[in-house]
Structure formats: structure tokens, C-alpha cells
Amino acid sequence: MDNRTKEKNMKRRTVNLALLAMLSGLASMPAFAQEALRIGLVAPFSGPYADYGRQMEAGIRTYMKQHGDKVAGRKVELLVRDTTGPSPELSRRLSQELVARDKVDFLAGYGFTPDALAAAPVAQQSKKPMVIMNAAGSVITTKSDYITRVSMTIAQNSAPMATWALKNKIRRVVTVVGDYAPGIDAETSFKTTFSRGGGEIVETIRVPLRSPDMAPYIQRVKDAKPDAVFLWVPSGEHSVSFMKNYSERGLAATGIRIIGTGDLTDEAMLPALGDATLGAITAFHYSAAHDTPENKAFVKLFQEVNPKVGQPNFMGVAGYDGMAAMAEVTKKLNGVIDGDKAMAVFRGMKLASPRGPLAIDLETRDVTQTVYIRKVEKVNGTLANVEFDKFVDVKDPGK
């Protein structure tokens, strides 16, 4: 073999080795287009508040059915974790595991304010975007730069309810709220707006979160003889107990009206609440009876995708919108989720939600939306929250 042939062979071998090295390097690079987009959903999936998690997950899966289960080339993988109810320590531990062990791209869900507050340091330290789908204490988004919310705040619904009450000649009110941050937010925002407009708070009653027996408080309301009782308690056992006792103790016959936020007449609970809710007036950001083509299509698809869950409630639509927001961020970042860049996309985001126009505030990272005034009526023989008035572009008064 002459020197020229040897030289050609050496060059060919060098090129082949370089190609192998390049291919090996490419194989070891992070294949973002192929890796799953991992979302950690932290919420109650068992116990008395199991419907919280089921609704959120159902809303997410409805979005995926409508828009596909891939975003920016990454298949969405939902990692469900059960807090079993309000459990801050468990919420923190589950969130830590999802970040450290499961390497999620987003944290999401959170049914209760104490659970979201417990997980906030996890989001802050890991720079992991955290999307709140229910927990409604105003303070939550101030506890981490990496938290945004697509659900609501309690003050956002309570203040418009007070304004509506004043306009409709309700002057004397007893407030009944859950004795923790969201309940106190509800009491404070309602009382501030109502008192400023000339209304009188006859009595304030706070109910322990783990004590759903409302009978003693109903009697106090009856004895105070107000024009109305303003109620905010967690949707579920508390609201069922309140309505049962409201009916049995004859408050309706005395002319005491029920006003409150939409948690009281949650669609998922209306069958259990029964006809005692007829005529109840609530302020809320979503009703399954919202009369638009977009919402009708959403409700229909939600029930087809999740036949065991029933019709969507406010947590179902928050799951849908939360997934829409995370998908938008993922698309804008071409599938590579960086905490700071993700939060920059969330700020100022606008979504066409089944509930109506929705935006994320630039400064607070909290939701801005329309708040509707609704009345419980029977529609085709079924209890429904029928909207008849509204307040548009409502920000969180708590901030």
C-alpha cells in the first residue's frame, strides 16, 4: 500500500470517528421534543373533598381531548397526588417529591389555601411554575414569584356580592364564614364594601373548618333577624348542613334571604342541597348554565370525557383553563420550561375561557375576570345557577 492510499484511509477513519462522536453527543443531549411534559397535580382525591381533585383532573383531560395530548412536541403526562383534604404538611411533601424526584415541569391544583401556602416555598426554591386551580386566599400569589392563579380569590366574589346587596335594599346582614384565611377574606371584603355603602353587619360568625354541623349557627342567624345571611364556607359538608338547617329551622319563612359566593351553590353539590337553595343569590365567576356557545360546547365535552364526574363546576373550568395556560407557556418557550421565562409568559396572558374573558394580571399574577350574579332556579326540572347580572374585569380587591 503506497503512502497516498494510507493517507486516504487515515482521513476516512478520522471522518468516521468524528461522525460517531457527533452522533454519540447528540444521543446524550436532552431530547426535549421527546420527553414528556410532566404536570404534578396536587389536590384532594379522597375523603369529603375528593370532588375537588376529580373536577380539576377532569377539566385538564377535557382540554387535552379538545386540543390533543401533545404540546410543542411533548406528550403531556399528568402525575396525580392526593392530599386527602386540607393537609399542609402532606401538600408540601408531595410537592417536594414531584419537583425533586419526578422532575415535573409545572406544579398545579391545590384545593385549599393552607395547602397552597405550604407548597409556595417549594415553588420559590426550585423556580418551578405553580398554577393554582382553586385555593382562594388573596395572599397566596405574594408568597412566591413562581405562583399564578386561574381560579379566583374569595374577595373577588365577596365584594361584588356586597355591592349587589346594597343596590337591592338589603341593609342588615349576619355573616357566616369558615374560620381560616379564605373565610376571613370573605368576611373582610364583604364587610368593608357593605359597611362603606351604609349597610350594617349585625353579627359575625366564624365556623371551624373541621366542624360541619351548622345547626347552632343557624339559630344565631334566626335570632338576629337580619335581612339576609351572607355565607362563605367550603363547598361540601358545610354548605349541605347549612341549607338543611336553613330549611328545617324555617329561616326562609321569616324572610331572611341567603346571599353568598358561588361555593355555596356549587353545581356538584346542588343535587344534595336540594330545593332549599331555590332563590339563593350568589356572586361567582362560573356557572355550568353560562349561556354561551363556548361554554355549552365545554360542558358537553366535559361530560363525554368524564362521564363519572358529571357536569363541570368552578374547579372543572379552572382545570381546563390552567391546562390552557400551561400549554400556552410551553408553546411560547418551544417546549423548554424555564421558571423565570414561564412566569414572564403568564404575566398579562389572556384566555378565551368557557366562563368568559380571563386574564392574568401583570403585577400580581392573579386572575382578572367577570363576576356574575346568579339565582338558583329550576331549569327543565334541574337546579341551576342562572346568571342575571354581572361585574366585568374584576381584579382581586384583596390586593
Q: Residue 31 pLDDT more than 60? A: no
Four-residue CA torsion sign, 295, 297, 301, 304: positive
Most confident by average pLDDT, 15-19, 34-38, 235-239, 294-298: 294-298
CA dihedral 157, 162, 163, 167 (to 10 degrees): 140
Q: Which residues pair with 71 in a beta bridge?
A: 74
Report pLDDT for 23.
41
Residue 304 CB contacts under 8 Å (≥ 6 apart), including other chains: none
Q: pLDDT class for 25, splitting at 50, 70, 90?
A: very low
CB 280 within 8 A of CB 260: yes
| pLDDT at site 22 | 44
Q: What pLDDT does 324 receive?
A: 98
Write b or e for each residue in 23-54: b if 16 or more Cβ atoms lie within 10 A of its Cβ, otherwise e.
eeeeeeeeeeeeebbbbbbbbbbeeebbbbbb
Q: Which pLDDT belongs to residue 355? A: 98
Q: Which of 86-100, 118-132, 222-236 has the lowest mean pLDDT?
A: 222-236
CA dihedral 138, 144, 150, 155 (to 10 degrees): 0
In the predicted structure, residue 18 carries a pLDDT above the cut 70? no
In this prediction, residue 251 carries a pLDDT of: 87
pTM, 2 dp: 0.87
pLDDT band at 399 (very low <50, low <70, confident <90, very high): confident
CB 357 within 8 A of CB 370: yes
Residues 6+ apart with CB under 8 A from 91: 42, 83, 110, 114, 115, 116, 118, 119
pLDDT band (50, 70, 90) for residue 356: very high
pLDDT at 181: 81
- pLDDT-derived band at 55 (thresholds 50, 70, 90) equals very high
CA distances from 105 to 285, 321, 329 (A): 28, 17, 11
Which of 31-35, 60-64, 132-136, 387-391 has the lowest average pLDDT? 31-35
> Does residue 365 have a pLDDT over 60?
yes
Max avg pLDDT among 226-235, 273-282, 348-357 = 348-357
The pLDDT value given to residue 9? 52
Confidence tier at 318 by pLDDT (50, 70, 90) = very high
Helix axes 237-248, 215-224, angle to 10 degrees: 50
Question: Average pLDDT for residues 349-360, to the nearest whole number?
Answer: 97
pLDDT tens digits for range 117-170: 999 999 999 999 999 999 998 999 999 999 999 999 999 999 999 999 999 999
Percent of the chain with pLDDT over 90: 77
Least confident of 25-39, 245-259, 297-311, 329-343: 25-39
pLDDT at 64 over 90: yes
Average pLDDT over residues 45-62: 96
Domains belonging to the chain, first-starting first, are 37-152+291-365 (3.40.50.2300), 155-284+373-394 (3.40.50.2300)
